[in-house]
Amino acid sequence: MSENTAPQPRTDTDVDEAAALARALMDAAREGNVDALRPAFDAGVPLNMQDADGNTMLMLAAYHGHAVLVRLLAERGADVDLLNDRGQSPLAGAVFKGFDDVVDALVDAGADPDAGRPSARDSASFFARHYTF
């Protein structure tokens, strides 16, 4: 007799566990929890994974003011210009919120100030914030 080595179909439990892990990673990004995320990145978690609204971990970190995590994600290869489902860029979100250190981190990583709608450049103009893009 030979053993069945064919891949087994995914179960509802597998899907539930994967969804729970994805939510936990996104929550950690919102919180700026580098200590929780670094091992996940080392294990190969997709850096450009998106939530139901198209937000990446980098977008969530930027929007919540976590410059250290933004820099780490950018250094690891996360797409700094990936737009969410509303057409917003991480840089525009950081400009909107007034997180200068996050804006600096994204600009240093090569983020496009004209990506998305409204763009970071448009947001800076609207809120009378002066950045060197």
Class of domain 13-126: mainly alpha
pLDDT band at 68, cuts 50/70/90? Answer: very high
Q: What is the pLDDT of residue 98?
A: 97
Q: 119, exposed or middle or buried, with CB in 10 Å at 0-12, 13-18, 19+? A: buried
Please report where in the chains the tokens 């947001």 appear, as a residue: 123
pTM for this predicted structure = 0.86
Q: What pLDDT does residue 84 have?
A: 97
CA 109 to chain centre: 14
If we measure between CA atoms, which residue out of 36, 28, 20, 17 comes closest to residue 58? Answer: 28
- Domain ranges across the chain: 13-126
Q: In this predicted model, what pLDDT tens digit does every residue of 6-56 receive, in sequence order?
A: 666 656 676 688 889 899 999 999 999 999 999 999 999 999 999 999 999
